[in-house]
Structure 1
């Protein structure tokens, strides 16, 4: 009987592992397509050759200075948003949670507005760290409010604190933009959400932050499985409730703060992708987190490629495309299966 019980479990694990390998292969194809497709047509064979042999030609410059940083940033931003969304939904036990629920997105936006409007900083690399710091401050403030007073940081208190911080920061951002049209004119290019015009120095700045967030997030998968059973059951299983929530909040801040700082607010990736992952592998966070980390860059890079194709010389920003693609997909998931259980 023990053999017959373990055999289906091993088969399910093998199927999930095979699915993850297939997803990684699709992601590799998306990366190659991102390097290949663009306003200037370059044959695929030439693209592959120039990727490894930079001969200084105009095509090589396009690939190495424009498309390669854009593709690598899409990988990082997608992984950060997908993993951050899965963490937020697991942490709050709310299937409608997204990375902005702790005030991360609005904290980054407020910091960018301050950098542009009050400090005169006009480049992405200049206000990148302001955005990351703003996201971190907003998340810490939301977590502090959520743990203030009696009791622990329950999911409900964290959500309410994050919503309050978001509302206050949104009013501040809108007030500054209305009073300062020049700030609005510059802020809107960041606010739309884009991978275009990002150089490799942006990738180098955000990569270590997202890497730390990924390691921290994956290390909390077992603890999140215990928390899904409730606080009392989680404690009985040996989970440290407060420490787990704090570490997950830090991971969300690192992942989504860095992703938002680099590419601007991009919607629906962190909301919809974890649902797809749970439909494929179930509620086990040991599989949901890696699947979300791989599927989200596929969606983001695919949306970026679609934006290049349909826009021609004038590209459609990836934040707009993900909204058009992600919203119907999410509605379809809700109608077919309601919401995947956490």
Structure 2
């Protein structure tokens, strides 16, 4: 896989053969594909530029950042190019899909602690690298944690336009947000003094809860309710009674991340030294556990699409307009199709 980065990927859609869909969002569809000249399987995100408000130059700059980034735990882009009214972004194919997709298919109640520790340690390595380079990820969540068949973990969608890769959970920038802000730090919501890399640490803590329970805290509530609950309530966490299956060190690690004052949250580098991560195993442990026996990514995506369609048919009278109905699908099923890839 790493050797593929040194190869020159072609910049024409004619040089790629698209196979099945493995994800979709508001304005993008993701395909498993073959790069014909190199005979390499890749993932291609096809962005419909007519559905996207962002300027093409801005998106190109952000994709270029993805191409330049170099760390084993951050998903890079091989190349990007335009084809008619679309932008194609060619990336490595992570055949296990996302942690969100795996949970929706096989672990709706969440993952076991050793798996979580192993996943989160790899994500934290990615954040240490990004923060050391002066970057804020801004979209840490289970849907952006991708796994390959060998168990290798990569954090995806760094630095890329919200319009391009966001599924509607939130469309993020430094100044505005739309949608369900379940992973968003309080200081990002308030927009008073700006925010820094500590916002990623809050999102990392929320992601830990998402992996533990199968969904993010407050995910069933509408956006304004989530905003108010995040700002007014005590931070969410692992309950000492309800979450007895989890260790004290896991509960303490999550609590350290979910402190409302960003100055009191640890840096990614300091957090990586937390004793919770002593539970983590080598990434091939993930291949033997959560990836063992699961259907191919395209099949899992198709099954959840069918589940969404059934929900729409059964509940169209209750919720009325399609937009409201789709928001209920996201809330009730936590269906984040692009999160599959």
Q: Would the TM-score normalized by the shorter structure come out above 0.5?
A: no
TM-score normalised by length of structure 1: 0.28
Report the structure number with the largest CA radius of gyration.
Answer: 1
User: Comparing both chains, which one has the higher relative contact order based on Cα–Cα distances under 8 Å and sequence gaps of 6 or more?
Assistant: 1
TM-score normalised by length of structure 2: 0.28
Q: Identify the structure with the greater strand proportion.
A: 2
Q: Identify the structure with the greater helix proportion.
A: 1
